[in-house]
Structure 1
Amino acid sequence: MSNDVAVDSGVRPVGAAAAQAAVAGSTHPLDEVMLAMDVVDTLRRRERLVKTELDDLNREEDLKERLRKIYAAQGIDVPDLVIEQGVAALKEGRFTYAPPPRSLATRLARIYVNRGDWGKWVGGILGIMILAAVIHYVSFVAPDADLPRDLVRVHTEAIALAESDPARETLESYLGAGQSAMRNDDTQGARRALHELEMARTTLGQEYSLRIVNRPGEQTGIWRVPDINTGARNYYILVEAVDPTGRVLRVPIRNEETRETEAVATWGVRVDEPTFNAVARDKQDDGIIDRDRFGYKARGELVPRYDMPTTGGAITRW
């Protein structure tokens, strides 16, 4: 009990404990109990001063006498029994705090007491983990769960726009590739198939003329040296899609070099060298390409009808 009380920083509770020890088994009046509490408080405040005096009996008697004089100077009559009990309490180390032995229980107790310090860090870490889990679910898990339905939905929407058998066959191949990927747990493959279906749906809903780019400061054609045959050249005429209202569209184009489909406003259509040179001469004549229409794509079709010889291959970056 004395150890538990000693860790409290207050003075009065300690005095109360010593007073109770002093008057245990007796029936002292209330004034005497209060006086005993004050004696113990005085001893506690002067603990450093009296520590060495408790080691010697004569010095202990001097200490008691000094205490009597302190209270006598204040006009307070303190019984010897009260003073002796207070000195005994101090001598027995009742005011000395003995920390509990190290154990799992004490460690858990310290962790609990310090929860205000580490709790906010743990809460912050848990919050970040929960946020990351939510982002992962929203970005990957939920969309992947909808992939089978999305494949069928986009395919159905695209089929409704298709106006030719070749277009429908292309859409069926995309759907089949996506469903096969899903059966093989190939999520990336299913996403690629869905992307192709979405691009095809966009293309089917568009109608435009292919016009050769012919603006000051912009290229009309480029050539590339293929990596697998450095002795050859691939020629491309740069075109753009213009709808019936004259607006330039962004069109899904498959890049034959990267094998990726992306929506672009300008791209290069592969031609042979004579066609490339013919367009170049047309432009060099007076700076204007008189024959600037390269082809036309009708609504419901995936591939344009070309007015100039081309392989149909394209590039989107140069």
Structure 2
Amino acid sequence: MAGRAQAPLDDIMMAMDVVDTLRHEQKMVEKELGSEARDENMIERLRQVYASQGIHVPDYILEAGVEDLKRDRFVYRSNASGFQRFLALVYVTRSTWSKLVVGITTALVVIIVAWQFLVVAPRERAAEALRVELTEGIPARLNELNNRISGLTSDTSVMLEAQRLLEDGLTAASDKNVASARKASTDLENLAKNLAAAFEVKIVSREGVPTGVTRIPDANSKAKNYYIVVEAVDPDGRVIERQVISEENGEATTVTIWAQRVSRSIFERVRKDKGDDGIVQDAVLGTKYRGEKAIDWENGVQKGAITKW
């Protein structure tokens, strides 16, 4: 074959060993290569090293080893960094980083799903429920109550009050003012309930409950206020709840029994009536008729009531 003959494998292996020996003799290499001394000095030193091990190495192999060391032959050098090297590194380490990516992705999915179901979805449902309430629920309820009131009374003042509450509620709902819209609906419902109610205000005459109480007002210590303890009884004989505002503290309380302020003459008449046989015979102090807003009181019954005594 034309050209330079290929070096025998044994020679190549021996040259590699020479280079490896030179690398282990790092101080010697640094001294000889770092000066202008002849290569023979390094070769002679190598002869001594191999001779001490009982190995005979031909001079041409020692010379080749020195030259190979100069050219950094038989030394692995990694390729310069670059995009292809980066891709290769990514591929080689895929088993490590893929687990991390899967873990992070799974965590993100869990967080997003939890946020959707626990925060976004309830908020959207609440917003939709509120929208339906303002656009459908409250307007329908207001109109229903107004129609009910119109069927309960012909009192012009009451109907005007109902119309005002209706308009206030519709306007508030249109303006998305939830609190005002709900208040108008509640006020209109209370008005309708009050108009529909029918009962008698009767004097309480039973053991353990006083029939009358007196108070000395803070504003006038020389005066005395008289009260008769009463309850509201419907046509079926059931005691019903009423919302009563106490004139002592201005608080509205829902009660089944309260003390209504009366004149002294009524107070004395009731006391005498009960004193005869322990029972108040003339027990009706007022009547609430269906369709009427206020109670029709007996003459002598005054404005004002208390809920505690």
The TM-score by the shorter chain falls in which range? Answer: 0.5 to 0.7
Question: Is 1:193 aligned with 2:184?
Answer: yes
Q: Contact 1:178–1:190 (CA<8 Å) still a contact in 2?
A: no
Q: What whole-Å deviation, never above 9, does each CA across 1:159-212 have from its counterpart, x for those lacking one?
A: 1021x52xx422321321441465475654443333232122223323222112
The aligned counterpart of 2:134 is 144
Aligned equivalents of 1:192, 1:234: Cα separation in 2 = 35
Query: Are residues 276 and 134 of structure 1, via their aligned partners in 2, closer, same or farther at CA, if it must alter by over 3 Å?
Result: farther
Q: Contact 1:171–1:200 (CA<8 Å) still a contact in 2?
A: no
Question: Is 1:174 aligned with 2:165?
Answer: no
Q: Contact 1:174–1:194 (CA<8 Å) still a contact in 2?
A: no
Aligned equivalents of 1:277, 1:99: Cα separation in 2 = 104
What residue identity is the alignment partner of 2:236? T
Alignment of 1:48-63 (within 5 A): 57=20
Larger radius of gyration: 2
The aligned counterpart of 1:125 is 115
Q: Secondary structure at the match of 2:236?
A: coil
Query: Are residues 246 and 180 of structure 1, via their aligned partners in 2, closer, same or farther at CA, if it must alter by over 3 Å?
Result: closer
The aligned counterpart of 1:82 is none
Q: What is the number of equivalent residue pairs in this alignment? A: 219
The aligned counterpart of 2:266 is 275
Question: Is 1:244 aligned with 2:235?
Answer: yes
Deviation at 1:242, TM superposition (A): 1.8
- Unaligned 5+ segments in structure 2 are 1-18, 24-73, 80-84, 92-96
Q: Secondary structure at the match of 2:188?
A: helix
The aligned counterpart of 1:135 is 126
Q: Contact 1:174–1:196 (CA<8 Å) still a contact in 2?
A: no
Alignment of 1:6-45 (within 5 A): none
Query: Are residues 292 and 142 of structure 1, via their aligned partners in 2, closer, same or farther at CA, if it must alter by over 3 Å?
Result: same
- Find the partner of 1:156 among 143, 147, 152: 147
The aligned counterpart of 2:287 is 296
Q: Secondary structure at the match of 2:301?
A: coil
Question: Is 1:115 aligned with 2:86?
Answer: no
Q: Secondary structure at the match of 1:198?
A: helix
Q: Secondary structure at the match of 1:239?
A: strand
Q: Give the TM-score taking structure 1 as reference length.
A: 0.51
Aligned equivalents of 1:169, 1:213: Cα separation in 2 = 33
Query: Are residues 287 and 156 of structure 1, via their aligned partners in 2, closer, same or farther at CA, if it must alter by over 3 Å?
Result: same
Identity across the alignment (%): 27
Query: Are residues 196 and 117 of structure 1, via their aligned partners in 2, closer, same or farther at CA, if it must alter by over 3 Å?
Result: same
Q: Secondary structure at the match of 1:311?
A: strand
Q: What whole-Å deviation, never above 9, does each CA across 1:10-45 have from its counterpart, x for those lacking one?
A: xxxxxxxxxxxxxxxxxxxxxxxxxxxxxxxxxxxx
